[in-house]
Structure 1
Amino acid sequence: MAACNHAIVARMDSPVALIPQLAAHLVAAGGKRLRPLLTLASARLCGYPADDANQRHVGLAACVEFIHTATLLHDDVVDESQLRRGLASANAVFGNKASVLVGDFLFARAFQLMTDDGSLKVMQILSSASATISEGEVLQMSTQNDLSTSVDQYLEVIHGKTAALFAAACRVGAVVAARPEAEELALEAYGTNLGMAFQLVDDALDYAADQAVLGKTVGDDFREGKITLPVLAAYAAGTEEDRRFWRRVIEDSEQTPEDLDHALDLIARTDAIETTLDRAATYARAAHAALDIFPDSHLRRLLQDTAAYTVSRGS
């Protein structure tokens, strides 16, 4: 991971001073670095050697982080977010135009790292994931403020915006290790299910977490009218009076300062957080089971424990 962080810093460099300055603002804010860690761990799980002559997994882990960081920059502009990882978001500090353009730069850097790797299969996996992320974000925008959105449509959104990159990050680990397709697909399934669980918990935390723990403003999804499972579950289980409230604040975007507290009360009363976390736990169990194809090892247990930890964040 130290080598990956070094690669990230090196590839952020540019003679245009604002680019490394803005990118460093987001990178320096921390974050879990979960996606690049998944690439590194998946490669090692598949027997890829860790020595100076074999560093493909490091370059691709950095590539995955650049794709993720680029999407964060763009997302914060679209969502008009003011916080990211507990600090002022890049768009709040540098403005929307700079954030969009530096996000474009990081996407370009990611594709440079793909071409440096030289594998058409790796490029196909990561470029497809990049396209799917964009589709997921556009689909989320099209379902915004629409309480007729089905749970299946919501799951399609989070598969696109989150799980696709988790899946790609894991699968390329098997590709660089030249493992059979069955192992590639097992790691892809692990990443997909882990990503689904991760996003479900994130969506639950937006209505259940302390702002200092969450690292972003609690209730952002509510204020933006995003359709997430906690809202869909509370809407489905509520009374007609409850549904009128949800239609006013989500579909009509007519919100008062007191409405978030009432929304939190309705979500608690209808056990919507528990419904969301139960769904996340189902995906986490599927992620755990997907790795059964691999022999028992410390790395396999770590990856399986990661799936369990992802859900425990919401407890």
Structure 2
Amino acid sequence: MLDEIFIKIKQLYNISNLKLIKNLGGFSSLNFQISDSSNQFVLKQYRNSTADKIKQIEKISFFLDQSDIPVKLPILNKNGSYHFVYQDTLYALYPMVEGIILHENTLSQKALHSASNILAQLHRLIPIAELNLHDANTCLVNYDEVSDEANKVLNLIANNPISEETDNITRNLIYLKLSLLNDLSAFNFNNVLQPKYLVHGDFHNENIIFSAGHQVIKLLDFEHTFIGSRTEDIFEFIHKGCCNSGFDEENINKAKHFLSHYKSVFPISNDELYIGFQYSVYQLVSSFFFEKELYTSHDISLYGLIGRDINRLSYINDHSRAIFNCIIF
């Protein structure tokens, strides 16, 4: 299929002799590193998106670029558009940016400081009305909807079993999420987490291109950008970037460095951070993405992520306050 898309790219962008270099993967979109005889590009294939949504992403990207946030901009094609359609699927072509992706175990203090600087800069922006961004205040929490979704996944497991061990561990993860969900019902998130900030929505180390000197070169992927609480980006980075593999001393120290530097650039109260941390747990337990993918595709490679999540959430369940205190103080 890529060969057919390459023909479409030749027609729209006057770029020929394309070849696939690497499948870069992705969740909200699939990304492919491609090249012609002299340049490299990233072909982005959007999942479950509409043309209106893609146009909004483009507006956000250009707004950020004009606001001195380093973002990667799509290439304009002959039709005067920054995206194109092939077989009812939306695509965009981007220039390849030279740099590195830093994983949890390679995030240096310099990289953490640079990431927190760019995040604070993003949060200080005043978004323009033309962006038509979603306001998160009306749908911060929905416990009944999460419980219903959990029951659907439990039925999916019952109807599409993999193995006794896999099925039991996945069920245990869902039951753990529901238990944590019940504990979180005591918090009134809306009273504290007012939607006042431009939130990236998926801010973590693998959506950032760093230089060899561990400075931010480009911020990527604005499919989930909205108006909300800045704690959502802060703890997204802490959970996915600093503590994705767990809450050992090294990972906690990374989270501590990231947050303390952010606070030095753009102060935020510990009370807001505490409620924001609890809301970040709600976000973790309200998503059943990997469970559904595992039992829809039977892709056993996802089983490791189920194990990771049950270990991480079990630790949060037993040590929630201690984790927060270690990160903040």
TM class by smaller structure: 0.3 to 0.5
Asked which structure has the greater CA Rg, the reply is 2
TM-score normalized by structure 1?
0.33
Larger helix fraction of residues: 1
TM-score normalized by structure 2?
0.32
